[in-house]
Amino acid sequence: MKKILLIIGDAVELLDTMYPYFRIQEDGHKVVVAGPEKRRYHMVQHERPEDWDITQETAGYHLASDIAFRDIKPDEYAGIVLSGGRAPEYIRYDEDLLRTVRYLCDKGRPVASVCHGIEILATAGVIRGKKVTTVKKCRFDAEVVGATFLDEPVVVDGNLVCARTWHDNHLWMREFMRKLNE
């Protein structure tokens, strides 16, 4: 059984988080939920009403983290999932999280990123020269650090598996699980 980190914070997107949370366990692996502190976090859900130009955010479920970023021992983990939502905008400045992301990327472990999760990878400095996808409003975050944005449901580049939004979860997790189970 492999241990996989699932990164969250307040305002993490519900479907970006819960789909991988259950999918990874379905294959017999252990999911360790990590947040800035070991506590309960508030998830949100996003949808775009037909009469809106932007996404609407509403309250979702809650999820408790198993571990705080500062307590992560990166060598214990076989991979990492970076959820979207607004959480990455804030947690991307956490040095302990960035240390963990850099370690797992350097070791070639599977890294999954969806939606705003790309902001964590950009801040960690690990996507220069990589092909990625993300929600269109985060395209700049990827390109400004030297990544190539592709508007595709899923983009795989080496150990990195990126998706645009929760609408692509089934394709995203299929590719991540393929890497994880190799």
* Residues known to be catalytic: 116
Q: Are strands 30-35 and 3-7 parallel, antiparallel or unpaired?
A: parallel
CA distances from 171 to 30, 40, 56, 148 (A): 21, 29, 24, 20
Which residues, other chains included, contact 116 with Cβ-Cβ below 8 Å and sequence gap of 6+? 13, 84, 85, 86, 87, 88, 89, 134, 135, 138
3-class secondary structure, 132: strand
In DSSP terms, 42 is beta-bridged to: 62
